[in-house]
Chain A
Amino acid sequence: MKGIIKNKVAYLVFLLPALLFYLFAVFYPIIDSIRLSFVSWGGIGPQKYVGFDNYIRLFSDSVMWESFFNNLVYVVIVVSMQLLIGLLFAVLLTYMQKNVTIVKTLYYIPCIITTVAVGQMFRSMYATQPMGLFNIVLSALGLGDLVRSWLADVDTVLVAVSLPEGWRFTGMYMVIYYAALISIDTEVSEAAIIDGASKWKTLWKIKLPMIKPVILLTLTMCITGALRGFDIPYLLTNGGPGNASELMSTYMYKQAFSSLQFGYGSAIAVFIIVESIIAVIILRLVGRRGEK
């Protein structure tokens, strides 16, 4: 970034408003969360400094661990739906000659709908009274035994709250991959085909490796996004029944805003950030090793 204007006053006039907003809305809360994670406070009265107590409690809290492992399952489901299905359909679209734009436009619709509406839609689809779409389709396929109230069953609820989130962004990742795939220089893949490579081979050996940087970036975004997953599980079950669909964020939210344990809630929030940063670092390392 090589600038040219040398006016210090104007520089500050243009920069400061954004900087102040950003400092206050994003940076101050990070610092304050870290500070709060070392206190015990119920919303009124003085804040009591408790050292690492909140973190010690965090690591010995069984519900916390349950949320952590639930969250991992949630990440796996969401990421595999968004990226694998997204990639599959992106590839399929590259073989389409007509109507690509309209198909792309329609596939994308779910991610411009508010999570509250998505939640309500899925709630009605999972229901048994009246029979929701899922159960009706299952009955029609002769799988009537599987009909159940998906959100009330401890065994199915975690999958049930993960699916809507996966569904929501599949179209977006498809559009990203499609853009990456069609921007590949066609000469390379054409040369491969002339050399006798099958379409299948060209895809695996040439096209996918060429969009690997995009795949790694989307994987990072997708994983960190799912690690902080909140809206849909919160709206559909609020972590229940029991803690069967509790995720880290919903647990943090409950601790802070239902139990009014702002200190402990902040410790969980800090944990979520650290976890996301670790995930990013691991993925970057994996990416770099792959490049060698």
Chain B
Amino acid sequence: MRDNEVYKKLAILKKVVFAIVIILFLLIQVYPVFWVFMASLKPTVELSASPFSLPSAPTFENFIKVIKEGKIWGYMINSVKVTGGSLILIMALSSMAGYALSKFVSRFNNALYSFFTFGIMIPVQITLIPLFIFYSRMDILNTSFSLILPQVGFALPLSIMMFVSFFTFVPNELIEAATIDGCTPYGIFVKIILPLAKNTFVTIASMYSILIWNDFIFANTFISKDSAKTVAMGLKDYVGAFGNVDWGLTFAAITISILPPMIVYFALNKHVTAGMSAGAVKG
């Protein structure tokens, strides 16, 4: 009898330790973000006096200041332009190329596919100097296009890979039948292939909307004018703008800027994680 009780207690202890470990790690992963949200609701004075307590009287003062100061809207609009433009191009170009590589007869298909997927291994840093030189010659530094071009280029390999692997599951008989019914290759793409690939589109769009929105390295290299800055750069900018870092305002700006990716993430969670995992595993 007694042994049995000891065993039971041990089992409970095990469960408790397990739960503590899981929650501790959860704290480490989530607390910094939660803390930024909390901190953004505190006046700067309280923030430096008691940084880790819950806000005694939550205030939107920091948010109001950031919004009134106004720059953040311009940054957000630029980010929307870059992210939106890139997404449209990524989805159009990669679905078309995926269709060409998987559903057309050509002896170049395998070589081209390898050529595209080779890009997954290439570090983005390699493009910075050549593109910077090219952009300054063409006088297109500080434009949305200067960011869209490398974003699309580096998103194509994985996106094409995902479309190809999906399209190979679409039976050729379907296309054959449509051809016999008089459908052109363009018609087949629009009427049959695209509707089937809805999931792949959502995966690619959700993943890249977050990655492109968050980009720092391209924006930091190709953008120097305030009028062309994206929201990620704006956060860095904020710090300088107030001399001593005004953490209250910075945290409010961070909160505003991470809301869009958060919304996409929580709405399309499965797609985001699936896409990013594919990105990490298929190299």
Residues of A within 8 A of B (CB): 1-7, 10-11, 13-15, 17-19, 21-22, 24-26, 28-30, 32-33, 36, 85, 89, 92-93, 95-96, 103-117, 119-122, 124-125, 130-133, 136, 167, 170-173, 175-176, 179, 214, 217-218, 220-222, 224, 227-228, 230-231, 234-235, 249, 252-253, 256-257, 262, 265-266, 269-270, 272-273, 276-277, 280
Please list the 10 inter-chain residue pairs (A to B) with the smallest Cβ-Cβ separation, ordered nearest first.
A25-B153, A18-B97, A114-B214, A32-B130, A29-B127, A14-B100, A10-B185, A18-B93, A15-B100, A29-B130
Of A14, A252, A276, which contacts B97 at CB under 8 A?
A: A14
**0/1 per residue, B68-110, Cβ < 8 Å to A?**
0000000000000000000001001110110111111110011
Bound CA–CA A262/B136 (angstroms): 13
Q: Write out the residue numbers on chain A whose beta carbons fall within 8 Å of the beta carbon of B156.
A: 18, 21-22, 26
- Is B103's CB under 8 angstroms from A231's CB? no
Interface segment, B1-9, B27-35, B196-204? B27-35
Residues of B within 8 A of A (CB): 18, 21-22, 25-26, 28-30, 32-33, 35-36, 47-48, 51-52, 89, 92-94, 96-97, 99-106, 109-110, 112-113, 116, 119, 121-133, 149-150, 152-154, 156-157, 160, 164, 168, 172, 175-176, 179, 184-186, 188-189, 210, 213-217, 220-221, 232-233, 235-236, 239, 247, 250-251, 254, 257-258, 261-262, 265-266, 269, 272-273, 276-277, 280-283
- Is B112's CB under 8 angstroms from A176's CB? no
Given contacts A214-B281, A217-B281, contact A170 B216 (CB under 8 A): no
Bound CA–CA A218/B185 (angstroms): 38
Bound CA–CA A94/B28 (angstroms): 20
Given contacts A1-B110, A5-B103, contact A25 B281 (CB under 8 A): no
Given contacts A1-B102, A218-B281, contact A92 B261 (CB under 8 A): no
Total A-B contacts with CB atoms under 8 angstroms apart: 281
Bound CA–CA A18/B115 (angstroms): 12
Q: Write out the residue numbers on chain A whose beta carbons fall within 8 Å of the beta carbon of B220.
A: 234
Of B25, B102, B131, B153, which contacts A21 at CB under 8 A?
A: B153
| Most chain A CB inside 10 Å of its own CB: which residue of B26, B128, B160, B272 | B128
Of B132, B262, B280, which contacts A218 at CB under 8 A?
A: B280
Min C-beta distance of B212 to chain A, whole Å: 11
- Is A22's CB under 8 angstroms from B116's CB? yes
Q: Write out the residue numbers on chain A whose beta carbons fall within 8 Å of the beta carbon of B51.
A: 130-133, 136
- Is A113's CB under 8 angstroms from B258's CB? yes
Q: Write out the residue numbers on chain A whose beta carbons fall within 8 Å of the beta carbon of B106.
A: 3, 11
Q: Write out the residue numbers on chain B whose beta carbons fall within 8 Å of the beta carbon of A29.
A: 126-127, 129-131
Given contacts A24-B153, A133-B35, A224-B121, contact A114 B258 (CB under 8 A): yes
Bound CA–CA A292/B233 (angstroms): 49
- Is B122's CB under 8 angstroms from A10's CB? no
Q: Write out the residue numbers on chain A whose beta carbons fall within 8 Å of the beta carbon of B273.
A: 104, 108, 172, 175
- Is B129's CB under 8 angstroms from A25's CB? no
Q: Write out the residue numbers on chain A whose beta carbons fall within 8 Å of the beta carbon of B127.
A: 25-26, 29, 33
Bound CA–CA A272/B127 (angstroms): 12
Given contacts A3-B109, A114-B214, contact A18 B36 (CB under 8 A): no
Q: Write out the residue numbers on chain B whose beta carbons fall within 8 Å of the beta carbon of A119.
A: 236
Of B94, B104, B188, B266, which contacts A11 at CB under 8 A?
A: B104
| Most chain B CB inside 10 Å of its own CB: which residue of A32, A95, A109 | A109
Min C-beta distance of B14 to chain A, whole Å: 10
